[in-house]
Structure 1
Amino acid sequence: MRIAVAGGTGRIGRLVVEEARRRGHDAISLSRGEGVDLTTGEGLAARLDGVEAVIDATNPPVSDVAEAERVFATVTRTLLVAGAAAGVAHHVALSIAALDRVQGNPHYFGKRAQERDVARGAVPFTIVRATQFHDFPAMIAEWSIVDGEGVVPPLLLQPIAPADVAVALVETAAAPALGGSFDIAGPRTEDAVDMARRTFAARGRELPLRASWRGAALGVEFAGEVLLPAEGARLAPTTFDDWIAAGAD
């Protein structure tokens, strides 16, 4: 099967390309490095020749709600229009679990705009909503260092390994389109503060941590169980313990 991966040189996209090829698919990347501009569509038609499924693993940086909605919608519409013209049979979009529970975050606004356009498009689709990755708590600690301490908000996660996300995306692309969405998550819930501490310890980095919402990179709209997946989510095999044991990379 010929699969095109939008954002194929990014963190998740690269893993998707590798997983697809490992399974015997003809996987190609759609990125600027391959001469494709996903905002204008330049170079896209030629790369989609013979493609049966497109996986959108793009994750453009955004700074505010207006930019997020514009960028995500533009990329999505460009892919869908070109995909319909090329006869693509399945469009798979990577999104975020619990997307509708968080209203104040620009990235979430962008993802909701993406999902709306995917659902309205002419290409049969499936939306895969993933929970946060294993390194997420350490990342937010590094984003918010106050007086030498990394601030980590006390919240629950059900983290998933990026490699498991790649597997789910490739398997979804090879299956019939659902015309809807489903959640994927790791096998168990974890405490974000504990995850950050264990991640830095596994990496040999000394960064004092403080559990607090004040000064944190995330607001209180993420509190409690908000970020946990929906009931019936498909569970991936890799635990946070497995990731720590492997070196937390």
Structure 2
Amino acid sequence: MSKVAVIGATGRVGRHVTDVLTERGHEVVAVSRANGVDIVTGAGLAAALVDVEVAIDVSSTPSFDKDDATAFFLASAANLHEAGRKAGVDRIVSVSIIGIDDTVTGYNAAKLAHEDALLDGPLPVRIVRAAQFHELVGQMVTWGTQGGTAYVPRMRTQIVAARTVAETLVDVAFDFDSAPAGMPFLEIAGPRAEDIIELAALYAGDTLSITPVTAPEEDRAIYEDGGLLPGPGARLAGPTYAEWLASEA
């Protein structure tokens, strides 16, 4: 049994990571503001990491603004490395997003900066790049709803369950060399490529009309032409979105 810190333990993926670790017999340290630890300021982090073997970082920020999100991720990466080094943490595993290498806007660009900051730190790091989570569909519909219409950005993605991502993060935490040769990360995605517009219609049913809108010009090709799809070495796992949606219902 190992002692594992889950950074962002109360979030969408963090809850699943905590469940998977517990099911596999590990001791979990839940690191979140709700538990008195602030990854951005570093308050409480050093104490939380005492005797921790591995830190799994699934922390996030609600801001999609590039500058705000980048500030969050750079601070969290620096604090995690510093506190982890002093506490004797052996390694860090962090979640990121498939296809962000050429992204220049918004949250995805901030995650790319986060990857760089983590990989530049003193502790060994592995990155798990995931496709968009199933829950994103409902969020996009909600965010874009005006009256009886939901305006949803066009996106091709191999959408994946948050639980599946959590299982992969834990796998990597205890098989640190499972990333492809020469690469600091592996990819996890769902079983097939899908169109967010079609999934939004499936989610909304007869309650809303779905109207596609274009992604930001700078990153339009990435979102609309398959730039977010996994590469040939990716790990693919179900359920499909339709299966997940049915189980949630």
SS, match of residue 9 in structure 2: coil
Show structure 2 runs of 5+ residues with no match: none
1:139 matched residue in structure 2: 139
1:24 matched residue in structure 2: 25
1:190 matched residue in structure 2: 194
Partners of 1:63 and 1:247 in 2: CA distance: 26
1:75 matched residue in structure 2: 76
User: Are the counterparts in 2 of residues 54 and 92 from structure 1 also a CA contact under 8 Å?
Assistant: yes
When normalised by structure 1's length, the TM-score is 0.90
Structure 2 residue 104 is the aligned partner of structure 1 residue 107: no
Alpha-carbon spacing, 1:185–1:74, altered in 2? closer, same or farther (3 Å): same
When normalised by structure 2's length, the TM-score is 0.90
Q: Map 1:200-219 onto structure 2 (within 5 A).
A: 200-201=204-205, 206-213=207-214
Partners of 2:40 and 2:153 in 1: CA distance: 35
Partners of 1:120 and 1:131 in 2: CA distance: 24
Size of the aligned set, in residue pairs, is 242
CA deviation map 1:228-247 (0-9, x unaligned): 11221111232223213213
Deviation at 1:146, TM superposition (A): 4.2
Partners of 1:191 and 1:135 in 2: CA distance: 14
User: Are the counterparts in 2 of residues 213 and 219 from structure 1 also a CA contact under 8 Å?
Assistant: no
1:46 matched residue in structure 2: 47
Partners of 1:33 and 1:155 in 2: CA distance: 33
Q: Map 1:172-191 onto structure 2 (within 5 A).
A: 172-176=172-176, 180-191=184-195
1:117 matched residue in structure 2: 117
Deviation at 1:68, TM superposition (A): 1.9
Partners of 1:114 and 1:213 in 2: CA distance: 26
Amino acid in the other structure paired with 1:239: T
User: Are the counterparts in 2 of residues 138 and 195 from structure 1 also a CA contact under 8 Å?
Assistant: no
Alpha-carbon spacing, 1:49–1:100, altered in 2? closer, same or farther (3 Å): same
Alpha-carbon spacing, 1:245–1:64, altered in 2? closer, same or farther (3 Å): closer
Amino acid in the other structure paired with 2:143: W
Amino acid in the other structure paired with 2:211: R
Structure 2 residue 225 is the aligned partner of structure 1 residue 238: no
SS, match of residue 55 in structure 1: strand
1:61 matched residue in structure 2: 62
User: Are the counterparts in 2 of residues 56 and 92 from structure 1 also a CA contact under 8 Å?
Assistant: yes
Q: Map 1:152-163 onto structure 2 (within 5 A).
A: 152-163=152-163
Runs of 4+ aligned residues of structure 1 deviating over 4 Å after TM superposition are none
Bigger shift: 21-30 or 173-182?
173-182
Deviation at 1:153, TM superposition (A): 3.1
Show structure 1 runs of 5+ residues with no match: none
Partners of 2:118 and 2:152 in 1: CA distance: 34
CA deviation map 1:98-127 (0-9, x unaligned): 0113222x2112211111111111111100
Partners of 1:47 and 1:143 in 2: CA distance: 35
User: Are the counterparts in 1 of residues 187 and 235 from structure 2 also a CA contact under 8 Å?
Assistant: yes
Amino acid in the other structure paired with 1:138: G
- Fraction of identical pairs, as percent: 36
User: Are the counterparts in 2 of residues 101 and 226 from structure 1 also a CA contact under 8 Å?
Assistant: no
